[in-house]
Amino acid sequence: RGVPRSLALDSELEGAASAPALPNAADVELLQNLLDFFYRFAEQNQADLDVETAEVFQRMGEIHRRLGQPDRAREAYRLALQVRTAVFDRSPGDPANALAYARLLNAMGLLEKETGELQGARSVHEAARGVLAGAAHSNPVVRLELARTLNLLGSTGLSGGNDSMMGVMRRRRRPAASGGGSPPGDALDSEAAAFEEARSILHDLMRQDPMNPEFQYELAQCGRSQALLALKEADTSEARRLLASALADLESLARDFPDVPLYQYELADTLCYQVPGRRGAAPVPEDYADRAVVIAGRLSARYPWMEGYEALLATALTRQASVREDTGRLEEAEAGYRD
């Protein structure tokens, strides 16, 4: 994870929430060495339309994406897509081929979203949905990817406009936007349908395997996206309910898997969320802010090379300071803002 959502969505960095973490100098050197290896492999095997070649091109695309090189990432993904398409066309009913093909398409969609090409992102996620729809059946791994695809598809439509989660959910003392930036009603209906289908799949998967953390994690992501959709429809009570449900899922994951940093990160990030009330954003509960600071501080101390954890800690400290400011503890608030 890179920039935490609760920080990215409080700035003009539209799309930063889903952007990959910016690599540090050591990461850059390692990634460049990997790229050099992959390019040599590709030159030797570019005529081979096999799965291994596709995986190499896809890895190259992911590395270029992490290095902030979207054009090169697109070219690598394009080469991977050529191979994946050929492999998929040979046996379209193979769940493994469908899964790999859809994952590549979803990676391409995320890149398009990060660069502001929302229509392109939506089209690619739709293509992934079509690939998986014919292969899902009872395969839980494929069905999970279908749910993830639906979440990505729905959230793509929630990325633009000043009343997005960036503008509504995270700004203190600012009333919720009304009109102007919201997508049209049919777009909201389409997003709602995608999220509901994803939620239905995930609930069914969890009935079959209630202890599966991947199912629970994706369900939490779905809930948070649905909360944004509720805010776009000015339904703050529903947004709060959905966020509470997502928070409960993340609490469970963080408790049951304490050594998985992703779950700790997402929990701390969600604890920082604000939902607007009648007079602007309601303050984050003080115990939420305090817990977010503790979790983020622990992650930052354990993984000091991860800039995303430092950013999360900064967000949590800002939320904690704002709570103290709201309750008249100005000196404590000032100290928190300085931290």
Span 193-203, pLDDT tens digits: 999 999 999 99
Rounded to 10 degrees, what is the CA torsion of 91, 94, 100, 104? 50
* pLDDT > 70: percent of the chain: 71
Residue 11: pLDDT band (50, 70, 90) is very low
CA angle 159, 161, 166 (to 5 degrees): 65
* Secondary structure (DSSP) of 246-293: HHHHHHHHHHH-TT-HHHHHHHHHHHT---EETTEEPPPPHHHHHHHH
Backbone angles phi, psi at 230, to 5 degrees: -60, -40
Instruction: State how far the Cα of 203 lies from the Cα of 220, in Å rounded to an integer.
Output: 11
Span 237-247, pLDDT tens digits: 899 899 999 99
Give the model's pLDDT for residue 35: 54
| pTM, rounded to two decimals | 0.74
Q: Please tell me whether residue 22 adopts helix, strand or coil conformation.
A: coil
Residue 16: pLDDT band (50, 70, 90) is very low
Instruction: State how far the Cα of 171 lies from the Cα of 273, in Å rounded to an integer.
Output: 10
**Residue 159 pLDDT > 80:** no
As a three-state string, the secondary structure of 293-315 is: HHHHHHHHHHCCCCHHHHHHHHH
Q: Between 109 and 26, whose confidence is greater?
A: 109
* pLDDT > 90: percent of the chain: 37
DSSP-H helix ranges across the chain: 5-8, 25-45, 51-66, 70-90, 95-114, 118-133, 140-156, 165-168, 185-208, 213-232, 236-256, 261-271, 286-302, 307-326, 330-338
**Residue 45 pLDDT > 80:** no
Q: Between 119 and 134, whose confidence is greater?
A: 119
**Residue 260 pLDDT > 70:** yes
Most confident of 28-32, 192-196, 279-283: 192-196
Segment 174-188 mean pLDDT? 44
Give the model's pLDDT for residue 66: 81
**Residue 173 pLDDT > 50:** no
Q: Between 15 and 207, whose confidence is greater?
A: 207
